[in-house]
Structure 1
Amino acid sequence: MKLHNSLLLGAMLLALPTMGTAQDAAAPEFATFADTAYIFNTLLFLIGGFLVFWMAAGFSMLEAGLVRSKNVTMQLTKNIALFSIAALMYWLIGYGIMYPGDDWTIVGYLGKLFAPVSLEPVGAGADVVDVTYASVGSDFFFQLMFVAATASIVSGTLAERIKLWPFLIFTVVLTGVIYPIEASWQWGGGWLSEAGFSDFAGSTLVHATGGFAALAGAIVLGPRLGKYTKEGRVVPMPGSNLALATLGTFILWMGWFGFNGASQLAMGSIGDVTDISRIFANTNMAAAAGAVAALILTQVLYKKVDLTMVLNGALAGLVSITAGPLDPTLFGALWIGAVGGVIVVLAVPALDKMKIDDVVGAIPVHLIAGFWGTMVVPVYTEGTSFATQLLGFVAIGAFVFIFSLLVWFILKALGGIRVSEEAEISGLDMAELGMEAYPEFARG
Structure 2
Amino acid sequence: MSGDEALVLVDNLWLTVAAVLVLLMQGGFILLEAGSTRMKNAGHIAGKTIFTVGVASLVFWAVGYGFIYGEGNAIIGLSNFFYGSAADGIGSVDFFFQLTFAAIALTIAFGGFAERGKLAAYAIFAVLFSAFVYPLVAHWIWSDQGWLADLGKQDFAGSTVVHLTGAMAALAATILLKPRLGKYGKNGKVNDLSGHNQVYTALGVLILWVGWFGFNAGSTGGLDGAFFGFVALNTQLAAGAGTIAALFLVWAMSGKADVPTTLNGALAGLVAITASCAFVDPWAAVVIGMIGGLIVVVSMRMFDKLKIDDPIFALSVHGVAGVWGTLSTGFFATPELAALNGGRAGLFYGGGFDQLGVQALSVVVCAAFAFGASYVLLLLTKSLVGGTLRVTEEEEILGLDMSEHGSYGYPENVQQEQERSSKTGS
Q: What is the TM-score with the length of structure 1 in the denominator?
A: 0.87
Alignment partner, residue 93 of structure 1: 63
Alignment partner, residue 18 of structure 1: none
* Contact 1:291 1:313 (C-alpha < 8 Å) held by counterparts: yes
Does 2:392 align with 1:420? Answer: yes
Does 2:77 align with 1:111? Answer: yes
Matches within 5 A, 1:4-23: none
Does 2:133 align with 1:181? Answer: no
CA deviation string 1:83-108 (max 9, x = no partner): 011000000110111101xx21xx11
Does 2:232 align with 1:280? Answer: yes
Does 2:2 align with 1:32? Answer: yes
- The one-letter code sitting in structure 1 at the alignment partner of 2:231 is I
Does 2:211 align with 1:255? Answer: yes
Q: What is the TM-score with the length of structure 2 in the denominator?
A: 0.90
Does 2:190 align with 1:234? Answer: yes
Shift of 1:265: 1.6
Match for residue 225 of structure 1 among 166, 174, 181: 181
Structure 2: distance between partners of 1:240 and 1:206: 28
Structure 1: distance between partners of 2:187 and 2:29: 34
Does 2:14 align with 1:72? Answer: no
Structure 1: distance between partners of 2:195 and 2:404: 20
Shift of 1:40: 2.0
Shift of 1:430: 0.9
- The one-letter code sitting in structure 2 at the alignment partner of 1:316 is A
Structure 1: distance between partners of 2:261 and 2:151: 36
Match for residue 140 of structure 1 among 95, 99, 102: 95
Runs (4+) of structure 1 exceeding 4 A deviation are none
Structure 1: distance between partners of 2:330 and 2:390: 42
Shift of 1:443: 4.1
Structure 2: distance between partners of 1:119 and 1:279: 32
Alignment partner, residue 387 of structure 1: 357
Match for residue 305 of structure 2 among 353, 357, 366: 353
Alignment partner, residue 214 of structure 1: 170
* Contact 2:202 2:263 (C-alpha < 8 Å) held by counterparts: yes
Matches within 5 A, 1:314-393: 314-381=266-333, 382=335, 383=344, 385-393=355-363
Structure 2: distance between partners of 1:353 and 1:252: 28
Alignment partner, residue 150 of structure 1: 105
* Contact 2:112 2:169 (C-alpha < 8 Å) held by counterparts: no
Matches within 5 A, 1:299-314: 299-314=251-266
Bigger Rg, which one: 1
Alignment partner, residue 13 of structure 2: 43
Shift of 1:182: 1.1
How many residue pairs were aligned?
A: 395
* Contact 1:90 1:144 (C-alpha < 8 Å) held by counterparts: yes
Higher helix share: 2
Alignment partner, residue 29 of structure 2: 59
* Contact 1:70 1:443 (C-alpha < 8 Å) held by counterparts: no
Shift of 1:32: 2.6
| RMSD between aligned residues | 1.3
Alignment partner, residue 8 of structure 1: none
* Contact 2:242 2:267 (C-alpha < 8 Å) held by counterparts: yes
Shift of 1:365: 0.4
Between 314-323 and 258-267, the greater mean CA deviation after superposition: 258-267
* Contact 1:93 1:177 (C-alpha < 8 Å) held by counterparts: no
CA deviation string 1:5-39 (max 9, x = no partner): xxxxxxxxxxxxxxxxxxxxxxxxxx334312311
Between 339-348 and 153-162, the greater mean CA deviation after superposition: 153-162
* Contact 2:382 2:389 (C-alpha < 8 Å) held by counterparts: yes
Matches within 5 A, 1:120-131: 120-121=86-87
Structure 2: distance between partners of 1:322 and 1:410: 32
Secondary structure of 1:252's match? helix
Structure 2: distance between partners of 1:159 and 1:369: 20
CA deviation string 1:106-152 (max 9, x = no partner): x110111671102242xx66xxxxxxxxx111101100000000011
Where in structure 2 are there 5+ consecutive unaligned residues? Answer: 336-343, 346-354, 419-426
CA deviation string 1:49-96 (max 9, x = no partner): 000000000001101101100011110111000101100000011011
